[in-house]
Structure 1
């Protein structure tokens, strides 16, 4: 088999596999947003508990 034939076969394989690679969903950005919200809630809870502790 010649090198040119091997290159054509490789290119054909890449083209045929491109449909499968596009079918994967992109990573969800909601997970980082959820962690950010949980962090903000935890920080607010810590501030509220500290303020309550100082008042009593």
Structure 2
């Protein structure tokens, strides 16, 4: 019975290997996010400093 289960598991792995190879590689992350976040943080910091200077 254990040998049958091992054979079934191995057969499932072999049959699924074709499907796994067909998956496209993950897309690289966008590098535009970091400069935008930096610009937003800079503008937010400048607004906070200006607000603090007014009071």
* TM band (smaller chain): 0.5 to 0.7
**TM superposition outliers: structure 1 runs of 4+ over 4 Å:** 37-43
Q: Normalising by structure 1, what TM-score?
A: 0.52
Quick one: distance in 1 between partners of 2:32 and 2:25? Answer: 17
Quick one: distance in 1 between partners of 2:35 and 2:21? Answer: 31
Cα RMSD of the aligned pairs, angstroms, is 2.6
Q: Normalising by structure 2, what TM-score?
A: 0.52
Q: Which runs of 5+ in 1 are unaligned?
A: 47-56
Quick one: distance in 2 between partners of 1:18 and 1:7? Answer: 17
Q: Which runs of 5+ in 2 are unaligned?
A: 44-55
Higher helix share: 1
When the two structures are aligned, how many residues end up with a matched partner?
47
